[in-house]
Structure 1
Amino acid sequence: MAREVLSIFVENQSNVLTRIASLFGRRGFNIDSLTVSTTNDPKISRITVVFDGNDTSLSQIMTQTRKLEPVKDLYLLNKETSLFRELLLLKVSCDKTNRSGIIEIVNIYRGKIISLSKQNMIIELTGAPEKIDGLLEMLSCYHIEEICRTGITGISRKSVDTDDDNE
């Protein structure tokens, strides 16, 4: 099983996300990450789905997803030709004895401290999922109060025409 990232272009209408997620669930796929955003066309949204699958299951889920009426197009995002990013908000307990150590680690990862109090700090980090994982590993020896990750979003470096189905 390999980690796959699908970029699905859908019409903006109610229940589209539910239909996509239900399709994955009915086929026995666990969605690892799911993000939705508008595109440059306000009538179209992009759904990015991350899941584990093999070639057979990937072909099956792509075929079934294409059949859904609000789906305009979908692409498998190739790891070599696509960029993936994620946003992390992290609340870490701190006091005057460990604050500077945490700040040093955050600076190495080019994160931002967006809130600071005597008891904790909130860190913002954007980057590849591996970068997010690296920061979390480095901060694992501190008391992490809360983690909020957006999930992976991605875009192909190649030009993509999303209007092929609009004939």
Structure 2
Amino acid sequence: MHIKTEAIERHTLAVTVENEPGILARIAGMFSARGYNIESLTVADVTEDASISRITIVTKGPPAVIEQVVAQLDRLVPVHKVIDLTELGPHVERELALVKVAGAGDHRIEALRLAEVYRARVVDATISSFVFEVTGGTEKIDKFLELMREVGLVEVARTGVAAIARGRQVI
């Protein structure tokens, strides 16, 4: 007997909502109540009067689960629109990370060399450490962190994914 399993896919969702207290908790609660994981979550107001916020959520699951997540998000009252950017097509994703690396001698030189290759900027420096700012896709940041572990990575702060559709498409 062969059991067919659906492939796990990564999806980026853009959700526009009324900017009101508790909406983020309701969305996170919907995910946790159903056992869905949020890999990345960013939120900010996007209108001049701060009445509408845009929430970008990165999650993984089989296509049927992603469809269910989108449908359930769409039913929440203060939600205006839910767009699966992954299904929509080409889109741009970026993330920012602040990366603290401590070390001396060759490790310090190597950290600076790697930062140059990854176009990371030094935003703070002391005799014993650097703080780098690196932006790009999640994979680029993950690789940068992997390499920095070898030369003295001590702390990381990441923003989460910000994403937008390419071309003329607007959500």
How high is the TM-score relative to the length of structure 2?
0.89
Q: Which runs of 5+ in 2 are unaligned?
A: 1-7
Q: How does 1:145-160 map to 2 (within 5 A)?
A: 145-160=154-169
Q: Which residue of 2 aligns with 1:98?
A: 107
Q: Say whether residues 1:75 and 2:86 are aligned partners.
A: no
Query: Secondary structure of the equivalent of 2:149?
Result: coil
The structure 2 residue matched to 1:23, chosen from 23, 27, 30, is: 30
Q: Give, in whole Å, the separation in 1 of the partners of 2:79 and 2:125.
A: 43
Q: Give, in whole Å, the separation in 2 of the partners of 1:140 and 1:161.
A: 39
Work out whether residues 38 and 46 of structure 1, in 8 Å CA contact, stay in contact via their aligned partners in 2: yes
Q: Give, in whole Å, the separation in 1 of the partners of 2:36 and 2:167.
A: 28
Work out whether residues 78 and 156 of structure 1, in 8 Å CA contact, stay in contact via their aligned partners in 2: no
Q: Give, in whole Å, the separation in 2 of the partners of 1:7 and 1:161.
A: 11
Residues 132-155 of structure 1: CA deviation (Å, up to 9, x unaligned)? 012112222122110111111111
CA-atom RMSD in angstroms:
1.5
**Structure 1 residues 91 and 161, CA, compared in 2 at 3 Å: closer, same or farther?**
closer
Q: Which residue of 2 aligns with 1:165?
A: none
Q: Say whether residues 1:36 and 2:73 are aligned partners.
A: no
- Runs of 4+ in structure 1 over 6 Å off: none
**More displaced stretch, 137-146 vs 61-70:** 137-146
Q: Give, in whole Å, the separation in 1 of the partners of 2:152 and 2:104.
A: 11
Q: Which residue of 2 aligns with 1:127?
A: 136
* Percentage identity across paired residues of the two chains: 34
Q: Say whether residues 1:47 and 2:47 are aligned partners.
A: no
- Matched residue count: 162
Q: Give, in whole Å, the separation in 1 of the partners of 2:47 and 2:91.
A: 19
Q: Give, in whole Å, the separation in 1 of the partners of 2:170 and 2:161.
A: 22
Query: Secondary structure of the equivalent of 1:47?
Result: strand
Bigger proportion of residues as helix: 2
- How many Å apart are 1:40 and its aligned residue? 3.4
Residues 111-133 of structure 1: CA deviation (Å, up to 9, x unaligned)? 10111111111010011111101
Q: Give, in whole Å, the separation in 2 of the partners of 1:158 and 1:27.
A: 34
Q: Which residue of 1 aligns with 2:97?
A: 88
Residues 49-73 of structure 1: CA deviation (Å, up to 9, x unaligned)? 1111111111111111111110000
**More displaced stretch, 144-153 vs 7-16:** 144-153
How high is the TM-score relative to the length of structure 1?
0.91
Q: How does 1:106-145 map to 2 (within 5 A)?
A: 106-145=115-154
Q: Which runs of 5+ in 1 are unaligned?
A: 163-167
